[in-house]
């Protein structure tokens, strides 16, 4: 079967793709930017990649007509606080318009649980998208999930950050809200088993694990899994804005995502009907089992995808092709080079940079820069990296975004997502037996130039020291 997979670069899409290929399907991966898409070599023969922006009607014709089914995994939580719901509706309308012109028999949509009488703006938007999709000429299957627990999920990372960093927590009262978490492997099983299954056509299903827990109980469950003693106190006076800042500064989440999560966490997300478990013969795992599985994946450095690699985690808004060619005109550039001793050693050092490994020299200054960025509303450096020794185009890497990563070529280009009065690139490339390192800054006005000269004294030993550590 020929299946259209939207959101192929997202947290769910990256994990669903190999499962669908394993089932023998040919997949059309629908992405906004081909430069952000990566698939292992063994999968590429079964994949076609098309560039489509569902907010741009001129691009939807890139979707082929001969598809049998489609997955709709598009969300706009990265949109502005005032119009993200409009963006989601527009995307869904354009999607329906195109899929109506294809041979698709079914569209599967992953939504949120919407059983509470009072919904947040984000959950209301999910409900609206569901209504739009059901207006199509194809059969629609909606799977409604609450908190998804898995290595690399936003919920898991937030829980981990809070428990690991705060022995004592004074928290907002919404931590007593109930939810029904579900493990990421179970979400993928529901998604794959629903495909072209007539029993799921034109229906909506709630999917969740067997446990109904408060967010406080989820935090304490993580602490127990990690053998940590934690004390949590809830107070009724913490406003949504203050709660968002609390999540933003303590965890690796962005402020926009923190705000979206806080507004949704005040709403109960509990399944009304779990008949799909029997219908598809799925037995969801418990919260404890989901945590154990996720922790093993993190410890073994086998995180298949992460929410941090989505553009929602940073400030990048344009196609990467616009930034792949590092500019020289009207730029300040710190260039350095050094002969390498062992090419493989140096490449492995470069490919492990950032995250828990650090930047090899002056780490406290890198951390300070990340903290300052957080104070000014930037991404900071807490995002880390998805894998310790493997990076691909589109990945988040502390306060950088990976634009280009080619290990055989020995070339890595990073683009800064921190708050800056300009744009910045960091480039590593090996030519013959020499490592070239360049930090490029394109200033924006007078403030940009002042910024460059203010940090210039630190470049002399930070970049020089880092270059030496990459070689020796």
CA separation, residue 266 to residues 239, 269, 396 (Å): 12, 9, 29
Residues 14 and 39: their CA atoms lie apart, in Å, by 9
Q: Read off the tokens for 163.
A: 């428990």
Tokens 């898409």 correspond to: 37
Residues 67 and 77: their CA atoms lie apart, in Å, by 28
* Residue from 268, 331, 219 nearest 112 by CA: 268
**pLDDT of 258 above 90:** no
pLDDT digit string, tens, across residues 326-350: 999 999 999 999 999 999 999 999 9
Exposure string for 312-327, b = 16+ CB within 10 A, e = fewer: bbbbbeeebeebeebe
212 Cβ partners below 8 Å, 6+ apart?
178, 179, 180, 270
pLDDT digit string, tens, across residues 292-314: 999 999 998 888 888 887 765 55
pLDDT in the model for residue 143: 96
pLDDT band for position 80 (cuts 50, 70, 90):
very low
Answer for the pair 116, 81: CB distance below 8 angstroms, yes or no. Answer: no
pLDDT in the model for residue 201: 96
Answer for the pair 382, 247: CB distance below 8 angstroms, yes or no. Answer: no
What's the CATH number for 314-471? 3.30.530.20
Decide which of 272 and 80 is more confident. Answer: 272
Q: Coil, helix or strand for 407?
A: coil
pLDDT in the model for residue 78: 47
Residues 228 and 387: their CA atoms lie apart, in Å, by 25
| Residue 408 DSSP one-character state | T
The domain segmentation of the chain, as residue ranges, is 2-309, 314-471
Answer for the pair 208, 180: CB distance below 8 angstroms, yes or no. Answer: yes
Work out the percent of the chain whose per-residue pLDDT is above 70.
94
**pLDDT of 257 above 90:** no
**pLDDT of 318 above 70:** no
CATH 3.40.50.720 fits 2-309, yes or no: yes
Alpha-helix residue ranges (DSSP H) falling in 76-153: 84-99, 121-133
Residues 76 and 58: their CA atoms lie apart, in Å, by 20
pLDDT digit string, tens, across residues 83-137: 767 788 888 899 999 999 999 999 999 998 887 666 766 777 788 888 999 999 9
**pLDDT of 11 above 50:** yes
């Amino acid at each position: 079967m020929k299946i259209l997979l939207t959101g192929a670069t997202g947290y769910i899409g990256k994990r669903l793709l190999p499962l669908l290929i394993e089932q023998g399907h040919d997949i059309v991966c629908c992405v906004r930017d081909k430069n952000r898409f990566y698939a292992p070599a063994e999968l590429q023969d079964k994949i076609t990649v098309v560039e489509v922006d569902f907010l741009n009607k001129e691009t939807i014709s890139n979707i082929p007509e001969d598809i049998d089914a489609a997955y709709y995994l598009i969300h706009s939580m990265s949109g502005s606080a005032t119009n993200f719901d409009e963006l989601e509706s527009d995307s869904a309308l354009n999607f329906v318009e195109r899929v109506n012109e294809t041979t698709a028999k079914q569209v599967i949509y992953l939504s949120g649980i919407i059983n509470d009488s009072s919904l947040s703006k984000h959950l209301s938007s999910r409900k609206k998208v569901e209504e739009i999709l059901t207006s199509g000429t194809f059969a629609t299957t909606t799977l409604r999930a609450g908190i998804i627990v898995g290595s690399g999920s936003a919920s898991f990372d937030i829980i981990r950050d809070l428990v690991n960093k705060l022995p004592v927590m004074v928290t907002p009262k919404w931590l007593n809200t109930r939810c029904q978490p579900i493990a990421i492997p179970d979400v993928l099983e529901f998604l794959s088993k629903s495909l072209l299954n007539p029993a799921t056509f034109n229906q909506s299903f709630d999917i969740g694990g067997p446990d109904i827990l408060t967010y406080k109980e989820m935090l304490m469950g993580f602490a127990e899994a990690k053998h940590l003693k934690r004390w949590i106190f809830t107070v009724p006076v913490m406003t949504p804005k203050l709660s968002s800042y609390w999540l933003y500064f303590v965890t690796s989440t962005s402020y926009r995502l923190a705000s979206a999560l806080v507004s949704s966490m005040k709403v109960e997300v509990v399944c009304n009907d779990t008949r799909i478990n029997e219908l598809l013969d799925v037995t969801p795992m418990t919260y404890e089992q989901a945590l154990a599985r996720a922790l093993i994946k993190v410890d073994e450095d086998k995180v298949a995808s992460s929410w941090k690699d989505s553009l929602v985690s940073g400030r990048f808004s344009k196609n990467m092709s616009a930034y792949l060619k590092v500019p020289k005109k009207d730029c300040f550039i710190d260039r350095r080079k050094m002969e390498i001793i062992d090419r493989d050693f140096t490449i492995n050092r470069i490919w492990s940079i950032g995250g828990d490994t650090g930047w090899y020299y002056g780490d406290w200054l890198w951390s300070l820069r990340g903290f300052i960025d957080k104070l000014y509303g930037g991404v900071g450096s807490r995002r880390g990296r998805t894998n310790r020794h493997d990076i691909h185009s589109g990945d988040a890497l502390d306060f950088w975004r990976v634009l280009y990563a080619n290990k055989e070529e020995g070339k890595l280009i990073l683009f800064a997502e921190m708050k800056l009065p300009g744009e910045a690139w960091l480039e590593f490339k090996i030519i013959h037996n020499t490592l070239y390192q360049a930090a490029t800054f394109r200033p924006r006005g007078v403030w940009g130039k002042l910024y460059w000269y203010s940090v210039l004294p630190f470049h002399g030993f930070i970049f020089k020291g880092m270059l030496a550590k990459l070689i020796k």
